Amino acid sequence: MEPLVDTFGRVHRDLRISVTDRCNFRCTYCMPEEGMNWLPRRELLSFEEIERVARILVERFGVDSIRLTGGEPTVRANLPLLVEKLAALGTDLAMTTNGSTLRLLADDLKTAGLKRLNVSLDTLQADRFLEMTRRDDLAKVLDGIDAARAAGFAPIKVNAVVMRGVNDDELVDFASWARDLGLIMRFIEFMPLDADKAWTNTTVVGLTEIVERIGAVYPLEAVQRGSAPATTFRYADGGGEIGVIASVTQSFCDSCDRIRLSAEGQFRNCLFAVDEYDMRPILRSGGSDDDLAESMRGAVAEKWAGHQINQVHFIRPRKSMSQLGG
């Protein structure tokens, strides 16, 4: 077994798989108001194709963490079947979801072998949720989180993208809510991946401000940073923890170990990559496992040093977050 190593010596063991490009929300920062042009079903990788790529990455390169994303992964029909296939590979198998259908799927996903859940939720206010997602489904999401807790998922992480003037007034509300339910809040700095390309530095609420505002109410203690994207802080009173993913103000590119497979089979070596490496022709033209492995090895070898947000030579990806899967 050989690790996937880029030219900067970073070993890649964390695979993100977008199982669909579709979503049942139309979040204002993910999708343009007119909606998206979804891929035809035949262009999406089958479960067998996804499992084959994942198996090669696990068995040949030591990938030990897999996360299912979208779009919204739960809109993919028969998702527990894919979870069962991937769970057999023996990795830390997780999923990021908007939570709206977790009431229906939580037990089946847990039985199939899903180990961890992250729920994306950017507001706790019903009217604001409707404005941000164009769906009046906050109650469904909160109920879905309850269902996931009842199914045995613990701890559940809740991801909130913080945007100045949009939801940054809810930082303490999120912290209080999560503490009460035993959830882990993860606040994500707003990144230039919005569909309408309206991102500016002024919309970013940075790690330091987030920690200061929550810490003024619930004192926090820093936890030593590992390879995970979130910088973690413990509540001084033992009431749990929060995390902040500071991709903009305190980038962690030097320790990033993530690779990505899109719903249509594009292999990406970085969330902000401008180039993709197409696995689908290899999968569907009789290519061997060696062919797939060599293509992925070459893709990781060409990874940049970092995304270079706020630098004059930063190149914005063509795809928005709804297409990349986070």
CATH code for position 136: 3.20.20.70
141-163 burial string, b = 16+ CB within 10 Å, else e? bbebbebbbebebeebbbbbbbb
User: What pLDDT, on a 0 to 100 scale, did the predictor assign at position 270?
Assistant: 86
The string of DSSP letters for 24-49 reads S---TTTS-TT---PPPGGGSPPHHH
Compute the distance between CA of residue 112 and CA of residue 124 in angstroms, rounded to an integer: 30
pLDDT in tens, 268-306: 988 777 789 999 999 999 999 999 999 999 999 988 765
List phi, psi (to 5°) of 81.
-65, -40
Residue 105 identity (one-letter amino acid)? L
Coil, helix or strand at residue 315: coil
What are the φ and ψ backbone dihedral angles of 220, each rounded to 5 degrees? -120, 150
At 112, is the secondary structure helix, strand, or coil? helix
Beta carbons within 10 angstroms of residue 121's beta carbon = 23
Which tokens is 93 given? 């198998």
CB 206 within 8 A of CB 189: yes
Task: Report the half-sphere exposure of 299 (CA within 13 A, side-chain side).
Answer: 24
CA dist 146 and 154 (Å) reads 11
DSSP state of 305: S
Q: What is the pTM of this model?
A: 0.89
CA distances 222 to 47, 171, 214, Å, are 40, 18, 13
* Strand duo 157-162 + 116-120: pairing: parallel
Token pair of 142 as six digits: 């909160």
How many domains would you assign to the chain?
Answer: 1
Per-residue model confidence (pLDDT) at position 314 = 47
With beta carbons less than 8 A apart as the criterion, state whether 283 and 45 touch. yes
Which residues does 172 contact at the CB level (< 8 Å), separation at least 6? 213, 214, 217, 218
Q: Specify the length of the chain in residues.
A: 326
φ, ψ dihedrals at 114, nearest 5°: -65, 130
Pairwise CA distance, residues 200 & 216, whole Å: 27
Looking at residue 117, what is its pLDDT? 98
Provide the pLDDT for residue 88. 98
Structural domain of 274: 4-324
Q: Are 184 and 155 in contact (CB under 8 A)?
A: yes
Distance CA 277, CA 299 (A): 7
Which residues does 77 contact at the CB level (< 8 Å), separation at least 6? none
Beta carbons of 148 and 102 less than 8 angstroms apart: yes
CA–CA separation, 23 and 224 (whole Å): 36
Distance CA 151, CA 147 (A): 6
pLDDT recorded at residue 33: 58
Residues of the chain with pLDDT under 50: 307-308, 311-316
Return the bridge partners of 211, or none.
none
Q: What pLDDT is attached to residue 203? A: 84
Rounded to whole angstroms, how far apart are CA atoms 111 and 89?
15
